[in-house]
């Protein structure tokens, strides 16, 4: 049976934590920042974590982890 392929676009965007959670960076912090409040920009800088329902889907396209 051939090896499973990793989705290269997803590999660049997510990381796996040691406990198995999927960490990603939030969208909306690259430009047009003057109209956004400091609190919003600060929260966008922190990483987000995938929901439990999404984890199952993401792990199928990333068969070997990060």
Q: In the chain, count H helices and then E strands.
A: 3, 3
pLDDT confidence tier of residue 65, bands split at 50, 70 and 90: confident
Alpha carbon distance 25, 66 (integer Å): 15
Backbone φ/ψ region at 35: left (φ over 0), alpha (ψ -120 to 50), beta: alpha
Alpha carbon distance 32, 50 (integer Å): 25
**What is the CATH code of the structural domain delimited by 8-61?**
4.10.410.60
Q: Give domain limits for the chain.
A: 8-61
pLDDT tens digits, one per residue of 38-47 = 999 999 999 9
Q: Does the predicted model carry a pTM greater than 0.85?
A: no
Is pLDDT above 80 for 7? yes
pLDDT of residue 35: 97
pLDDT tens digits, one per residue of 21-58 = 999 999 999 999 999 999 999 999 999 999 999 999 99
């Amino acid at each position: 049976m051939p090896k499973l392929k990793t989705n290269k676009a997803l590999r660049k965007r997510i990381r796996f934590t040691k406990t198995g959670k999927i960490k990603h960076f939030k969208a909306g912090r690259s430009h047009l920042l003057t109209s956004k409040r400091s609190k919003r920009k600060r929260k966008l800088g922190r990483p987000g974590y995938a929901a439990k329902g999404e984890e199952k889907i993401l792990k199928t396209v990333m068969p070997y982890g990060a």
